[in-house]
């Protein structure tokens, strides 16, 4: 499993906005300061805005800010926003195998996935930015 670059960029963007949380920040400045291309920033911003993790204000004096406090945004929130789901095996779609001889493998993978979700859910943007 590998995170998309956009997931890492989204974390950088949200960390930046947490650290620079006074007023609105311009998209150009955020892109420059985080090392994300402006085009990539705008594509990520759309997804973050839809998930309620980012607020954007258009027009002169507009810009971006966090949609909620960084202490309330988990790594998992960002992960789901960009990656859409966490499923480490095609067999972990929510259904238990009926008479699968490899059930112990499925059980192990499900437990592993659950631990990953728990770990990602327990880490906030604020913690990652400190």
pLDDT tens digits, 91-121: 665 555 555 666 778 788 888 889 999 999 9
Of 83, 67, 71, which is closest to residue 116 (Cα–Cα)?
Answer: 83
**What CATH number does residue 25 fall under?**
1.10.10.10
Helices (H), 20-102: 27-34, 38-50, 75-83
Neighbours of 82 (CB within 10 A): 19
Residue span of the structural domain in which 54 resides: 5-86+124-129
Residue 118 Cα to chain centre, angstroms: 14
**Contacts with 63 (C-beta within 8 Å, 6 or more apart), sequence order:** 23, 24, 25, 26, 27, 56, 57
Mean of pLDDT values over 41-45: 97
Q: Tell whether 68 is covered by a domain.
A: yes
Q: How many structural domains comprise the chain? A: 1
pLDDT at 30: 97
């Amino acid at each position: 499993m590998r995170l998309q670059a956009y997931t890492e960029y989204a974390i950088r963007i949200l960390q930046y906005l947490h650290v620079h949380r006074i007023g609105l920040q311009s998209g150009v400045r955020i892109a420059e300061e985080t090392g994300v291309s402006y085009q990539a920033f705008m594509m990520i911003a759309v997804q973050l805005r839809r998930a309620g993790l980012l607020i954007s204000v258009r027009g002169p004096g507009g810009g971006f800010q966090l949609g909620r406090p960084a202490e309330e945004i988990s790594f998992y929130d960002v992960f789901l926003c960009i990656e859409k789901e966490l499923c480490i095996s095609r067999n972990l779609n929510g259904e238990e195998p009926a008479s699968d001889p490899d059930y112990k493998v499925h059980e192990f993978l499900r437990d592993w996935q659950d631990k990953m979700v728990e770990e990602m859910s327990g880490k906030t943007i604020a913690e990652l930015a400190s």
